[in-house]
Amino acid sequence: MQIMTVSSAIRDYQVVFAETMDFISELETTKDHYYVIDKKVWDLYGSSFKSLNTDLALILPISEEVKCLETVKTVYDALMKCSAKRNMTLISIGGGIIQDITGFVASTLYRGINWIYVPTTLLAQADSCIGSKTSLNYQGYKNLIGTFFPPTKVFINTAFLSTLESEDFYSGLGEVIKLYMIGGESSATAFIKEIDKIKERDRSALAKAIQEVLQIKLQYIQEDEFDTGRRNLLNFGHCLGHAVESTTNFLIPHGQAVLMGILFANIVAKNRGLLSKSRYEFLSRELILGNICVQHTSVLFNTDQIFEAMKKDKKRVGEGLALIMMLDDYSLKKFQDLQYDELAAGMKELGATLRVPTR
């Protein structure tokens, strides 16, 4: 097993890359533990957890709508019923929503308990599992409430990815593409050569890609763990992406919304002369358009609603809207001056490119 160590001001933690499910036996021996497991994962992989004491497990049906304080209270109640103490270990198994819910619980119960995370989606394995963020939605706004709280250990096994529904796989692929783009020109062009293997879910190619993008992300979070400066750039594509998620009632999966957000940011950068037309076309052709797979033709981009949602962006500090853009040398810069007219023009071009109606 390969191990990556992540340094944190709260506590350092290890990411263990496991080739088999043998790590489950290690979880079972954890003292004073309690499981929270995505129901879909339990239905698919319950046999791998056959020795698990179901009296010490909460199986949760997961959707974007349950990433909220009410579900956190459900987990609190389950832990209180089993007389949880501060030295207990919460073990969560599932995708990013399970991670957000249980990470928030672990960070707030007794002001912090032990927490082990087993990510089971490409999105969680390649992105969210490191970085310490926990996030909850509130009153329709994405990730408005949250904490910084790292797990004590992360176990990654790409075997889980073989059963991902296509929509979930391509959602994760969106974040993988984002990180390879952030890694620079050599990183992005190398990834283009491997993307077909990754889309075929070749386990070796997936494991290599996950380790590479986590290393790219690590460079940002080690320097700026609490997201006050350079780490903001990891939100490339998220400024519009989160707004698209919220205004379509989460009809569009996160990573797909991020790809749309990247395309929008590149449109604005191109129109401002920050990104050359040739670079814009290359990135769109080789990395973005062929991997936006949302087929919801009924989706309507409502510019007014997106404008209002973007005003709630945590990265916004000025009068204008925040937008992270890629420059022609693949460097990133955060801008705070996006105005309504420029948003509307960019949305119109985005809609035409994706053949999605806008208003």
Q: What pLDDT score was predicted for residue 43?
A: 94
Rounded distance, CA 166 to CA 168, Å?
A: 5
Helix-strand-coil split of the chain, %, nearest 5:
55, 20, 30
The answer to whether 257 touches 244, Cβ cutoff 8 Å, is yes
Rounded to two decimals, the pTM is 0.94
Best CA proximity match to 343, nearest among 313, 332, 314:
313
Provide mean pLDDT across the span 89-100: 97
* Domain parsing of the chain, residue ranges: 2-163, 167-354
Order of all β-strands in the sheet with 2-6: 2-6, 13-17, 153-156, 114-119, 89-94, 33-38, 57-60
Q: What pLDDT score was predicted for residue 84?
A: 85
Rounded distance, CA 234 to CA 65, Å?
A: 24
Most confidently modeled range among 138-147, 235-244, 314-323: 235-244
The answer to whether 240 touches 267, Cβ cutoff 8 Å, is no
Best CA proximity match to 242, nearest among 142, 348, 343, 356:
142
Would you state the torsion angle of the CA atoms of residues 257, 262, 266, 269, taken in this order, to the nearest 10 degrees? 100
Which range has the worst mean pLDDT, 54-58, 91-95, 163-167, 200-204? 54-58
Superfamily of domain 167-354: Dehydroquinate synthase-like - alpha domain (1.20.1090.10)
Q: Look at residue 358 and tell me whether its pLDDT is greater than 90.
A: no
Average pLDDT across the chain, whole number: 93
Question: Could you tell me where the DSSP H helices lie in 10-121?
Answer: 23-28, 39-45, 69-81, 96-108
Residue 163, SS3 per DSSP: helix
Strand-pairing partners, residue 334, are 324
List pLDDT tens digits, range 5-34: 999 999 999 999 999 999 988 898 999 999
Provide mean pLDDT across the span 158-187: 97
| Residue 72 pLDDT grade (very low, low, confident, very high; cuts 50, 70, 90) | very high
Q: What pLDDT score was predicted for residue 128?
A: 97
Strand-pairing partners, residue 94, are 119
Q: What pLDDT score was predicted for residue 223?
A: 92
The answer to whether 103 touches 73, Cβ cutoff 8 Å, is no
The encoded tokens of residue 155 equal 């176990």
| Residue 53 pLDDT grade (very low, low, confident, very high; cuts 50, 70, 90) | confident
Provide mean pLDDT across the span 168-197: 97
Q: What pLDDT score was predicted for residue 49?
A: 82
Q: What percent of the chain has pLDDT over 70?
A: 98
Q: What pLDDT score was predicted for residue 281?
A: 98
User: How remote is the C-alpha of 357 from its chain's centroid?
Assistant: 26
Q: Look at residue 164 and tell me whether its pLDDT is greater than 60.
A: yes
Q: Look at residue 355 and tell me whether its pLDDT is greater than 90.
A: no
List pLDDT tens digits, range 262-302: 999 999 999 999 999 999 999 999 999 999 987 655 567 88
CATH match for 2-163 among 3.90.1150.10, 3.40.50.880, 3.30.230.70, 3.40.50.1970: 3.40.50.1970
